[in-house]
Amino acid sequence: MDKETGEPFTDFGFERVSEANKGARVRRVFSSVAGRYDLMNDLMSAGVHRLWKDAFVSQLGASPRMHVIDCAGGTGDIAFRVVERSRRGADAAHVTVVDVNEEMLRAGRSRGEAKAFAAHLDWLVGDAESLPLPHACADAYTIAFGIRNVTHRDRALAEARRILKPGARFLCLEFSHPVVPVLDALYERYSFGLIPQIGKLIAKDEASYRYLVESIRRFPDQEAFAGEIGRAGFARVSVRNLAGGIAAIHSAWAL
């Protein structure tokens, strides 16, 4: 809280910024990296992010005619996997991809058309904290590597609960806190030492990737985030660590 203006502040990586400005700054980050976003994910994780996303979608267990909201769905990595895993002949789950950034959605639409997935996908510009969707419209809500970028996680979780039908599934894949001490130290060195430099070389944007690394460090640990999900009105919250806790899948069910 600013002592002079009373304006609330929040984290933008390691910076403190006004809550009113964080959303715009996050949008600028992803507008900058949209064109190289998928390539950078492969380079930064040596392709391991693909295995994490496969595990995430496998845990969802999507079926034909299920309606899935993929929030912060960007370039479509999760949505495409949901359609592929749920496909039975010409039938498959329908995924509404919501993202605050039009550039990311544009990249996803192009990829979806190339895969001939258009009939199973909608692309919607929207904020995770105020989804342009009706109450109880979805059978599942997924969000992968996106919730740490919202300004108010409690509002985003409340919105996820609002748009889910009773008994529907919530799944979140996010970078988390390594639970192996040696791994923790190695990961810290790699994240701050190499990822911004890869961003500078490949995406021509060191600052955005430095923010992304810092945002991971600011995100709560597995137990704390599970508590936030429970307080949002979800039941049977569970955590599955991936790669020793470098990433984690949080699963829950709407009451």
Domain boundaries in the chain? Answer: 9-254
pLDDT higher than threshold 50 for residue 213 = yes
Average pLDDT over residues 33-50: 78
Q: Which residues, 6 or more positions from 123, have their beta carbon under 8 angstroms from its beta carbon? A: 97, 99, 105, 108, 109, 112
Helix (H) or strand (E) holding 24: helix 19-33
| Integer CA distances (angstroms), 18 to 5, 10, 21, 120, 148, in order | 11, 6, 5, 38, 16
The rounded mean pLDDT for the chain is: 90
CATH 3.40.50.150 fits 9-254, yes or no: yes
The answer to whether the CB of 8 falls within 8 A of the CB of 75 is no
pLDDT at 2: 46
Q: Which residues of 189-217 are buried (b: 16+ CB within 10 A; e: fewer)?
A: eebeeebbeebeeebebeebbbbbbbbbe
- Residues 152-203: tens digit of each pLDDT: 999 999 999 999 999 999 999 999 999 988 898 898 888 888 888 888 887 7
pLDDT higher than threshold 70 for residue 99 = yes
pLDDT at 4: 52
3-state DSSP: the chain helix, strand, coil percent, rounded to 5?
50, 25, 25
pTM to 2 decimal places: 0.89
- Residues 5-27: tens digit of each pLDDT: 556 888 878 788 788 788 888 77
User: What percent of the chain is modeled with pLDDT above 90?
Assistant: 61
pLDDT at 218: 93
Residue 109, classed as helix, strand or coil, is: helix
Average pLDDT over residues 38-63: 88
The answer to whether the CB of 218 falls within 8 A of the CB of 22 is no
- Residues 11 and 214: their CA atoms lie apart, in Å, by 10
pLDDT higher than threshold 90 for residue 221 = yes
User: Picking from 30-34, 109-113, 125-129, which range would have the lowest pLDDT averaged per residue?
Assistant: 30-34
pLDDT at 168: 98
